[in-house]
Structure 1
Amino acid sequence: MKIHWIQGEYWYGGAACDGIRQPVGQGDIREINLEPNSTPNQAMPFFLSSKGRYLWGRGGFSVRFDREGITCPDDAKLGKGFGTLRGAYLAGMKRHFPFHPFRLSERLFDAPVYNTWIELTFYQSQQAVLDYARGIVGHGMEPGVLMIDDGWSECYGDWRFHSGRFPDPAGMVKELKAMGFSVMIWVCPFVTPDSIAWRDAGERGILAAGPDGEPYLSRWWNGYSGVLDFSRKEAVSWFDRQMMRLQETGVDGFKFDAGDSIYYPREGCGRNEQSRLWAQYGERYSFNEYRASWKAGGYSLMQRLCDKEHSWGEKGIGALIPDTLVQGLTGHPYCCPDLVGGGEYLNFAKEKEAGLDQELFLCHSETACMMPVIQFSAAPWRILDEERFKRLKEQLDIRKAYGKERAQALSQAAATGEPVIRPMEYSFPGQGMETVMDQFMMGERLLVAPCIKKGETGRLAALPKGRWKYGGHCIEGGGSVYLSRETAGPIILEYMEPGCRR
């Protein structure tokens, strides 16, 4: 199918981690293939335009944008006549991925989330986890949700705490909760070969099979493993029994990692479908997190951006806002903009040689502080000097001060399916804001413009028409305005149309 451009049209969607390269306009040449989803993040067979059109595919498909038009398979659904980007989103969402009931715990959004990965990597232990938690509380940070990451278990598929490194898991969880934490732990759909879990899963026939009918060995970032076939009810039950045993120790929920389409075999129900089934499984838990998913728009899942570099560029902090905006436009509003400072742990492993950029770490926190979820892993008190650590805690105070507004935006997302974090074009169509992807609306009234370039103490903010309140003053919109940062947090303006009477 060939679709002609509408004058001044821009397209968004598909894969969340493609946000840094969006929107796509008539002068761009871009091809996006979602069969399978080869990205390390969320993807949906859904593209939408600033002129009120959308494309939807029942499965993954390839779409090409060039100067001549948009090319996609004939069986893709073209919806049109919805006027604006918001109109296209609402029409496509209601017809193709209506939202599931909201079941996520408010703790994921109210308090910071902490993850043990950067500090401990594969060397997770009961003592190290408790020391990390004590460091959080001891340095005056609010306890929230604590995720114990990869390395805690006996092996993949045998989801018991390692008996040597975790001598008393229930006692550890009890102590963490006494400090004020909710507890989540890392799991994945893999099974370590030649383990007891592998033999048990093989005898039950619940491992995904390759072309020869034998259990498929998937090569992923931690080597080779078998993969559970979640299209089989017994596989779900087998995994579920292990999660229930963990919950009996006091664990509240799980970080469901992996599940990337590319780690599944082509045989069976298909790579993308296995990824979707893995995401579907997590909805039963009020504490969950996903990094990779397929066609999970509208699911009650907290979904994080993929690991970003500790850098100022498009592979680091520059991608956080545009990728989060595309997350929202593809039905994933309950989002987290990666770990503060970047989730690529190799950057932190080399920090003794290269050093870390404290300003970058602080700007990442500034960007995340008005997002639905803010998540730390690298210990801020270790990375930052005393003055910058004080500023980071001020950012968390600002986040707390806007808790009511964030809760309202989350409630609206759950009720209507609309994004929490919105592109300017979504909220203010027809004002030339299609390509503004470095600031966002949080809900209906708050414009958030973080400083994301090194050395910035202020920035140009694109203000739609109307009156805006900033720092106790009214500003007339309708163009770009340079604003100095007045607090440790991002520049935040409140839309006051028709007048500043509050």
Structure 2
Amino acid sequence: MKFTEGMWRLREGIRIDWMNNVERLRVENENVELLLNKFQRHRGDTLNSATVTASVTSPLEGIIGVKLVHWAGQVDNGPHYQLASSSGHTKINHEKTETLSYDSGALNLAINTAPNELDFVFSGAKGKLTGHSWRSIGYVGDQTTEKSQWDDGIFFERQGYMLAALDLGVGEKLYGLGERFGPLVKNGQTVDIWNEDGGTSSELAYKNIPFYVSSKGYGVFVNHPGKVSFELQSERTTRVNISVPGEELEYFIIYGETLKEVISRYTALTGRPSLVPSWSYNLWLTTSFTTNYDEQTVTGFLDGFRDRDIPLGVFHFDSFWMKSYQWCDFEFDEELFPDAGGYLKRLRERDLKISVWINPYVGQASPLFQEGKKNGYFIKRTDGSVWQWDLWQAGMAVVDFTNPDACTWFSNHMQRLMDLGVDTFKTDFAERIPYKNIQYHDGSDPARMHNYYTLLFNKVVYEAMISRYGKSNSLLFARSSCPGGQVYPVHWGGDCESTYEAMAESLRGGLSLMLSGYIFWASDIGGFEGTPPPALYKRWVQFGLLSSHSRLHGSSSFRVPWIYGEDCSDVLRDCVKRKILLTPYLLAEALAGYNEGTPVMRPMFLEFPEDLNTYPLDTQYMFGSNLLVAPVFTDEGTVTFYVPHTPEDSQGKWVSWFDHSKTYEPGQWYTETHGFDTLPILIRPGSVTPINPKLKAPQDDALNGLEVLVNGSLANDMAVQVVNPSKTHNVLKVIKIESQSGNVTADDAGVKVVRIGH
């Protein structure tokens, strides 16, 4: 929130108690506690004013946390994010009334403890990262809200906020904060961390993550599950102002020698991303949302894919697999699917995996409503009645996942569907969660639960699948998320329009999410709202099949390609088969993401931080470490993209995926025109990319037909991991390539080497 009007004045009705002095401090083991107060002229200034207690901790090496507390007497009903921690990696040095130095690995926090000289400076190997300078820690009182009652006299209260402002340097750029669809660079924006169902064309977002990264080589995570407001150079042009309602705010500065290391430490703190089964990388097809369909319609679609030789891995039944007004009752509509179990069996005989749509709501017409009401499985109003509304399903209630019995109830219905043949679930919604005048089973604070709720929903669904299929064969397809949600993949971008602008904003949203701890992402190919023109459909197919996960989905129209013209079928076939042959590469990149937190799709600067030209780019990306992708956002096929410098081999050239004789100079811009059979896919110089053209599906034998693309000379011997498609956590084989010859070693003689570039 904005509390000031310029540098000198506060907004009407706002009061801020600024902290300017360290009154005293205490060091205990690896923790430091400081009592902060206002500017002190004499002892009388300790009266009639606020203090803030600042606690300094380090949960993991390279991470320093600061918790600011105004009043400590508040009731804390949670919830809280589960964070990892360790000890033994800090060093504290205190010079009384002068400075306190707190080290966590290579990250240092220096606090000026001289009288009235309060200052925090976080530093890394190259100097200052950020910190608190003059008037940047404060407690805000707002008397313009309903909380302030004038007739309360001396007990007049204000709505309180904790405010922490972190310094920004010249030219510093900020990224992340979840799946945000506006400009990739967040400077100048106001961002509220509050999950909403707002589509992809506004400032609202489904996946709000209070974590941003800076081009200076650090990240900031605000450990607060409720609403967090960020003013990113939008209030003070030299700062990020962070505020939360209430009496305390905790943030962590996360340092790394590279931004990849920053993200790795963030995921070590909040949870490493989980891996997904290899079959999920294949094409997904859905019935779409409001379209009419039954067994005959679905079968016709599948026959069409088979007859056109278009690989298909997953078929998804969207909302109306259940009867209207009964979402969710976990029952196939018997009028449309009179033999659901038999039909799913026949689909599986086609080597298809089955996905069904669910959400955490139960309509009043559902047979499960009375059962949930009777047993206390729903969120309640403060008077004890079930919270209901009509905005989605008539009279719907919301499952209370803080109730263990409700979780078991919900999971049992999922197990029944898995018995029927369902392999995975699309967990839609979980953003429309009430937060006023309600109560949870475990007493959680409703405002803090609003964002956190999606974590409980996806956790219940994901763990139900693990109990049945094991970790190697479990994933969901989720729309909403919050910190820690990367543990329950996969996530897709939500409701986008069928336009090039929406395709571009979807990419920006995906790249922002990839900088927020997530390694997998998908969009609705063709756009969700509307019917895409054939040209847009083909361009989005090219982009969507170069995302970690690929799903054809729409709202009021189907997304099978021949509806848009048989040339669309040709484009889809080529793109799906290209992605399947890339399976060894994708599985290896995903395994690296699982171990280190590096996303499969990534902004250019994450891979090339030394090239300053990469930092504003948001219409192209790296697909893994080796492939540059520039989607085409025009009918006529014109596309402009930048080819970055590569530190490994400054003399090497990038090579076109489609024409290995076509090369690109690092550090140059290019403008090209592409038909629908190509787009800019460039192979990195000095790279080794494993592929397998013999694969018919991602889960097939990875070694039979394995090839490696070697682009140019190699600076060092290289080793390529071949991941087991049946157990994507395991490595089948390590292929070694010699730098001198560019060939595999004798032990890997059965692997074909394709030399490209010079």
TM-score computed with the length of structure 1 as normaliser:
0.89
Q: CA 1:404/1:263 → structure 2, altered by over 3 Å: closer, same or farther?
A: farther
Q: How far off is 1:217 after superposition?
A: 1.1
1:23-63 deviations in whole A, cap 9, x for unaligned? 123xx2x1111145564522212111111122212223111
Q: How far off is 1:224 after superposition?
A: 4.1
Q: How far off is 1:236 after superposition?
A: 0.8
Question: Quick one: distance in 1 between partners of 2:393 and 2:581?
Answer: 41
Structure 1 stretch 178-187 or stretch 279-288: which is displaced more? 279-288
Question: Quick one: distance in 1 between partners of 2:214 and 2:637?
Answer: 32
Match of 1:197 in 2: 368
Which one-letter code corresponds to 1:342 in the other structure? G
Match of 2:405 in 1: 234
Q: Does 1:472 align with 2:660?
A: yes
- Are the aligned partners of 2:539 and 2:676 in contact in 1 as well (CA < 8 Å)? no
Question: Quick one: distance in 1 between partners of 2:434 and 2:313?
Answer: 32
Q: 1:492 aligns with which of 677, 681, 687?
A: 681
Q: How far off is 1:262 after superposition?
A: 3.9
Match of 2:304 in 1: 135
Q: Does 1:332 align with 2:518?
A: yes
Q: What does residue range 43-58 of structure 1 map to in structure 2 within 5 Å? A: 43-58=208-223
Question: Quick one: distance in 1 between partners of 2:677 and 2:537?
Answer: 13
Question: Quick one: distance in 2 between partners of 1:283 and 1:106?
Answer: 17
Q: How far off is 1:487 after superposition?
A: 7.2
Match of 1:352 in 2: none
Q: What does residue range 30-45 of structure 1 map to in structure 2 within 5 Å? A: 30-35=189-194, 39-45=204-210
Q: CA 1:21/1:218 → structure 2, altered by over 3 Å: closer, same or farther?
A: farther
- Are the aligned partners of 1:288 and 1:301 in contact in 2 as well (CA < 8 Å)? yes
RMSD: 2.3
More helix by share: 1
Question: Quick one: distance in 2 between partners of 1:130 and 1:386?
Answer: 19
Aligned to 1:14, what secondary structure does the other structure show? Answer: strand
Which one-letter code corresponds to 2:640 in the other structure? R
Q: Does 1:273 align with 2:452?
A: yes
- Greater RCO, 1 or 2 (C-alpha within 8 Å, sep 6+): 1
Question: Quick one: distance in 2 between partners of 1:393 and 1:469?
Answer: 23
Q: CA 1:487/1:135 → structure 2, altered by over 3 Å: closer, same or farther?
A: closer
Question: Quick one: distance in 1 between partners of 2:462 and 2:433?
Answer: 22
Q: 1:416 aligns with which of 596, 607, 611?
A: 596
Q: What does residue range 169-180 of structure 1 map to in structure 2 within 5 Å? A: 169-180=340-351
Question: Quick one: distance in 1 between partners of 2:185 and 2:655?
Answer: 28
Q: How far off is 1:242 after superposition?
A: 0.9
Match of 1:88 in 2: 262
Which one-letter code corresponds to 1:12 in the other structure? Y
Q: 2:581 aligns with which of 376, 386, 401?
A: 401
Match of 1:351 in 2: none
Aligned to 1:308, what secondary structure does the other structure show? Answer: coil
Q: What does residue range 149-160 of structure 1 map to in structure 2 within 5 Å? A: 149-154=318-323, 155-160=326-331
Question: Quick one: distance in 2 between partners of 1:208 and 1:450?
Answer: 44
Question: Quick one: distance in 2 between partners of 1:43 and 1:288?
Answer: 19
More strand by share: 2
Match of 1:309 in 2: 497
Q: How far off is 1:475 after superposition?
A: 2.7
- Work out the number of aligned pairs and report it: 481
Q: CA 1:122/1:495 → structure 2, altered by over 3 Å: closer, same or farther?
A: closer
1:434-455 deviations in whole A, cap 9, x for unaligned? 1101111111111111212231
Question: Quick one: distance in 2 between partners of 1:22 and 1:458?
Answer: 19
Q: CA 1:490/1:220 → structure 2, altered by over 3 Å: closer, same or farther?
A: farther
Question: Quick one: distance in 1 between partners of 2:398 and 2:606?
Answer: 40
Q: CA 1:211/1:22 → structure 2, altered by over 3 Å: closer, same or farther?
A: farther
Question: Quick one: distance in 1 between partners of 2:568 and 2:372?
Answer: 50
Question: Quick one: distance in 2 between partners of 1:217 and 1:405?
Answer: 48
Q: How far off is 1:484 after superposition?
A: 4.9
Q: How far off is 1:194 after superposition?
A: 4.9
Q: Does 1:75 align with 2:254?
A: no
- Are the aligned partners of 1:19 and 1:322 in contact in 2 as well (CA < 8 Å)? yes
Q: Which structure has the larger Rg over C-alpha atoms?
A: 2
Match of 1:482 in 2: 671
1:184-221 deviations in whole A, cap 9, x for unaligned? 11111111115431111011101011233211114544
Q: 2:378 aligns with which of 190, 207, 213?
A: 207
Q: Percent identity?
A: 20
Q: What does residue range 353-392 of structure 1 map to in structure 2 within 5 Å? A: 356-377=532-553, 378-392=558-572
- Are the aligned partners of 2:194 and 2:208 in contact in 1 as well (CA < 8 Å)? no
Question: Quick one: distance in 1 between partners of 2:262 and 2:399?
Answer: 37
Question: Quick one: distance in 1 between partners of 2:633 and 2:602?
Answer: 18
Q: CA 1:463/1:341 → structure 2, altered by over 3 Å: closer, same or farther?
A: same
Which one-letter code corresponds to 2:576 in the other structure? L
Question: Quick one: distance in 1 between partners of 2:306 and 2:544?
Answer: 20
Match of 1:353 in 2: none
Match of 2:172 in 1: 9
Match of 1:65 in 2: 232
Which one-letter code corresponds to 2:310 in the other structure? M
Question: Quick one: distance in 2 between partners of 1:410 and 1:229?
Answer: 33
Match of 1:452 in 2: 633
- Are the aligned partners of 2:363 and 2:393 in contact in 1 as well (CA < 8 Å)? no
Question: Quick one: distance in 2 between partners of 1:399 and 1:76?
Answer: 42
Which one-letter code corresponds to 1:94 in the other structure? A
Q: CA 1:163/1:448 → structure 2, altered by over 3 Å: closer, same or farther?
A: same
Aligned to 2:380, what secondary structure does the other structure show? Answer: coil
Q: Which runs of 5+ in 1 are unaligned?
A: 349-355
Aligned to 1:48, what secondary structure does the other structure show? Answer: strand
Which one-letter code corresponds to 2:265 in the other structure? A
Which one-letter code corresponds to 1:252 in the other structure? D
Question: Quick one: distance in 1 between partners of 2:318 and 2:365?
Answer: 23
- Are the aligned partners of 1:52 and 1:87 in contact in 2 as well (CA < 8 Å)? no
Q: CA 1:230/1:497 → structure 2, altered by over 3 Å: closer, same or farther?
A: same
Question: Quick one: distance in 2 between partners of 1:225 and 1:122?
Answer: 23
Q: How far off is 1:342 after superposition?
A: 0.5
Question: Quick one: distance in 1 between partners of 2:265 and 2:509?
Answer: 22
Which one-letter code corresponds to 2:168 in the other structure? W
Aligned to 1:62, what secondary structure does the other structure show? Answer: strand
Which one-letter code corresponds to 1:257 in the other structure? D
Question: Quick one: distance in 2 between partners of 1:221 and 1:10?
Answer: 39
